[in-house]
Amino acid sequence: QLQLVESGGGLGQAGGSLRLSCAASGRTFSTMGWFRQAPVKERGFVGVVNNGRVYYSDSVKGRFTISRGGALNTVHLQMNNLKPEDTAVYYCAAGPYQPLASMLWRETSYGVWGQGTQVTISS
């Protein structure tokens, strides 16, 4: 059974750091990354590793770093210089290689999702 299990997150302070991890069971994926959903907002793209190339949303670029584990069944999200607006439920997502980078921002490019983990940043 394909499954993504997230860990990490929790409470943090503005300017601080948190790290999220996601482990896939059942297979490896060429594309793994993160989306997030803030209160009363739609879920949106955070960043992804697509066949080794990394993409970030403008809102996290320079502050967040995505990396894959050596076995290629894990993905990590290192979040630095956190802001209160980073407060959201963070979802791990995985899918096949996406040849069109513009499609990486779309949820439909990912076939497997984690259950979500809450990140709350206080000012």
pLDDT digits (tens, 9 = 90+) for 73-95: 899 999 999 999 999 999 999 99
Q: How many residues does the chain have?
A: 123
Please give the sequence-ordered ranges of beta strands (E in DSSP) within 1-123, or none if there are none.
3-8, 10-13, 18-25, 31-37, 44-50, 53-56, 64-68, 74-79, 88-95, 112-113, 117-122
**pLDDT of amino acid 45:** 98
Q: What are phi and psi for residue 26, nearest 5 degrees?
A: 105, -30
Positions in the chain short of pLDDT 70: none
- Cβ-contact 87, 38 below 8 angstroms: yes
